[in-house]
Amino acid sequence: MQDFLKYAHRYSRRLIIELKKGGMAVNGAHRRMVDPVYTGDVVEISFIEEGCDLVPNASLKVPIVYEDEDLVIFDKPWNMSVHPAADGVDDSLGNYFAYLYHNALTFRPVSRLDKNTTGLCMSAKSTLSAGLLIGTVEKEYLAVAEGLLPEDSGTITIPIGRVEGSIILRKPDADGQHAVTHYEVLARTTSHTLLKIRLETGRTHQIRVHFAALGHPLAGDTLYGGHDDRIPRHALHCASMTFPHPFSGEKIAVSVPLPADMRALLGESCPAD
């Protein structure tokens, strides 16, 4: 049964562990993961959906880019966390999700963004869709770096570790986690470079740390050496997502344009959407 779910239906290890607690039957009878499954068997799967325990906030407005019965993708603005902060603040994307679905669905973000990163952020609508989506989503970011990168494309391979004494800051660290960033230059101004970025790994603050390490921090990223005189936040935007639908397998691609504050950094050098 375990191999059937894993290889034929792409169930993750986490989903299989959840099902070991119950919620699985074959031909109406309980079956263990180690038991075989045969052609013609009827396999029934059920997960307990507990609903959302976040405080709904109807005053928030976040555009929805794509939605169906299994998932929703938002265009998250800057200055909005994905999850509520520990101090009980109720202005996160999770609080808007709780309002939108009347606390009937658990908030399960499949992709997360920093508070001041804008763009596409996906949440699954069930335990099963979340498990099937994890690891299948390909994302492209747009960023505006300070200065002019000399190469039109490149790959940054620099391990990243924590800064001692901080739970937030990261740094290049030979003993840190393996991290790989691929980039392509889309436009240059006299002072900034617009980049298209794809991550091979997903470390905390990876894009920000990598470009700061090159001597080209993101515009507005004061945490890593950037300047906020022209933009009040780090200039990073999740612009596109491509993924197979968790159940139909259909390829879905969504995108959102560069936000106005990042466009303003580029002026006439900003490419058309």
Structure tokens that stand for 179 in this block: 């991290």
Residue 146 near residue 219 (C-beta atoms within 8 A): yes
Catalytic residue check, 114: yes
Report d(CA 200, CA 202) in Å as an integer.
7
User: CA nearest 71: which of 17, 23, 6, 136?
Assistant: 136
Structure tokens that stand for 56 in this block: 């709904």
Q: What share of the chain is helix, strand, coil (3-state, %, to 5)?
A: 20, 30, 50
Residue 216 near residue 146 (C-beta atoms within 8 A): yes
- CA angle (221 as vertex; 262, 223 as ends), nearest 5: 165
Q: Helix/strand/coil (H, E, C) string of 222-267? A: HHHCCCCCCCCCCCEEEEEEEEECCCCCCEEEEECCCCHHHHHHHH
Structure tokens that stand for 270 in this block: 């900003």
Among candidate residues 75, 114, 221, 261, the one labeled active-site is 114
Active site residues: 114
